[in-house]
């Protein structure tokens, strides 16, 4: 089964928590705080694997989470950083953020790409000792790892894309000029998945050709099979349009030519403007008059025109050589640039992540803010300085002001994630 789209959830590991610890050793008095920092959480790393041809594996496993870093410990011992989680994908996979469509990476080479970064480890209490605060009884929790819902989209890396109606001879042609062995039969939609083949022009010169499953009219709107594979033509440097010059199936090759190009245009204006060569296949079954009319029409469009018979190999070597010569003059295969967030967008994401909601029920002010959980875990409720830190967090994030606006008075009860305390302004 060929799968070229998948949606998955990825979560980098959270950082380990800093430790609260005090040095205890015989004959050493007042050893002081020695809590170590937590370790870094694991990154989510995407790498290309040539042994994978499509995204089938992602049809079953949808969630990928890296491990959390180890917590810090006593004697200023740092927690161990977690291992990165490696996700293997086929070459040509584009990773997009599901909600925005923003491109996070294009896996077109073998360089590993970090998509989600693990959180840094929290600081241990040894960091917070000062001349006036010699016994800090609190530490910082680890930072959360990045998380995304991402769309994986496979766009084949091929120099040449073969397009045309079903049964015009694309599979036969690629089998003749390359070592590819697609299924060939005398009925429509024989090819159900894209097929890649390497065409050798001469010693040390070759290019990759892709047989794109047959398009039909309306493919760009989801009709037939072609709409599923139009994306694979997007990267191609050159389009080779195969026509059935004989018309033995009752279709007009000129009408076919216009119909397929209309589908390419509807799918992508950039694709419609890509360089194109036209090959009239089954020319051994066409009359001289049919070939003359077709040649005049195609060359009138300013396109190169070749007469071939893929079954008998007539003209196939000439066409393969002409394709190689044309490719040598074209830019390299298209690579999509990642779209990083601007500073303003990062600020907006930060504000979004700090959202909270306040409700009042029977005189109790409930604050809903899941992101406060890590802060609460780090607070020692019996330590004055630790409580001061918690109060600063509430004030800096606007929660205190929102409680006042909601009508809270001193002595009223506040509940945050099941932790309750009396409000003091």
Domains of the chain: 1-155+336-340 (2.70.210.12), 160-327 (3.40.50.300), 343-422 (3.30.300.350)
Q: Residue 233 class from Cβ within 10 Å (0-12 exposed, 13-18 middle, 19+ buried)?
A: buried
Give the whole-angstrom CA distance, residue 201 versus residue 33: 72
**306 and 279 in contact (C-beta within 8 Å)?**
yes
What does the pLDDT profile of the chain (425 residues) look like in tens digits? 567 789 999 999 999 999 988 888 777 666 788 999 999 999 999 999 988 888 888 988 999 999 999 999 988 899 999 999 999 999 999 999 998 889 999 999 999 999 999 999 988 988 888 777 778 887 888 888 999 999 999 887 889 988 888 888 888 899 899 876 655 444 444 445 677 888 988 777 889 998 877 555 544 444 444 456 677 777 889 999 999 998 887 889 999 999 888 888 887 788 788 899 999 999 999 999 999 999 999 999 999 999 999 999 999 999 999 999 999 999 988 888 888 877 677 667 766 777 888 988 888 898 988 888 877 877 777 777 778 888 888 888 889 999 999 999 988 999 888 788 888 87
Q: What is the pLDDT of residue 192?
A: 53
* pLDDT tens-digit series, residues 105-139: 999 999 999 999 999 998 898 888 877 777 888 78
Residue 9, by phi and psi: left (phi above 0), alpha (psi -120 to 50) or beta? beta
Nearest to 263, CA basis, from 223, 297, 314, 296 = 223
- Which 3-state string (H, E, C) describes 362-402? CCEEEEECHHHHHHHHHCCCCCHHHHHHHHHHHHHCCHHHH
């Amino acid at each position: 089964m060929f799968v070229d789209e998948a949606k998955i959830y990825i979560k980098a590991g959270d950082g380990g928590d800093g430790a609260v610890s005090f040095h205890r050793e015989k004959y050493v008095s007042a050893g002081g705080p020695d809590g170590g920092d937590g370790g870094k959480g694991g990154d989510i790393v995407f790498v290309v694997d040539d042994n994978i041809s499509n995204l089938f594996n992602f049809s079953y496993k949808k969630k990928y989470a890296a491990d959390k870093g180890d917590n810090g410990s006593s004697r200023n011992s740092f927690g161990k950083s977690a291992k990165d989680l490696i996700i293997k994908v086929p070459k040509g996979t584009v990773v997009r953020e599901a909600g925005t469509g923003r491109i996070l990476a294009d896996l077109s080479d073998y360089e590993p790409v970090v998509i989600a970064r693990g959180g840094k480890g929290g600081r241990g209490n040894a960091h917070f000792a000062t001349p006036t605060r010699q016994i800090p009884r609190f530490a910082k929790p680890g930072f959360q790892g990045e998380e995304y819902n991402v769309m994986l989209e496979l766009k084949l890396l091929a120099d040449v894309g073969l397009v045309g109606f079903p049964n015009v001879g694309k599979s036969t042609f690629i089998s003749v000029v390359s070592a590819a062995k697609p299924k060939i039969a005398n009925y429509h939609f024989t090819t159900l998945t894209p097929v890649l083949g390497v065409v050798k022009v001469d010693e040390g010169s070759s290019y990759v050709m892709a047989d794109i499953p047959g398009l039909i009219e309306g493919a760009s709107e989801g009709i037939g099979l072609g709409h599923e594979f139009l994306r694979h033509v997007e990267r191609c440097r050159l389009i080779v349009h195969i026509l059935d010059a004989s018309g033995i199936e009752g279709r007009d090759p000129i009408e076919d030519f216009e119909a397929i190009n209309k589908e390419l245009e509807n799918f992508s204006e950039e694709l419609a403007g890509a360089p194109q060569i036209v090959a009239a296949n089954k020319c051994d079954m066409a009359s001289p008059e049919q070939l003359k009319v077709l040649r005049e029409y195609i060359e009138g469009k300013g396109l190169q025109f070749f007469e071939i018979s893929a079954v008998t190999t007539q003209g196939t070597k000439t066409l393969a050589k002409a394709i190689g010569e044309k490719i040598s003059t074209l830019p390299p295969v298209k690579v999509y640039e990642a779209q990083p967030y601007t500073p303003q967008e990062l600020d907006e994401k930060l504000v979004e992540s700090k959202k909270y909601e306040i409700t009042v029920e029977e005189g109790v002010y409930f604050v809903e803010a899941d992101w406060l959980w890590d802060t609460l875990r780090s607070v020692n409720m019996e330590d004055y300085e630790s409580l001061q830190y918690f109060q600063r967090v509430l004030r800096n994030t606007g929660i205190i002001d929102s409680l006042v606006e909601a009508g809270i008075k001193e002595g009223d009860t506040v509940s945050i994630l099941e932790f309750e305390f009396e409000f003091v302004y």
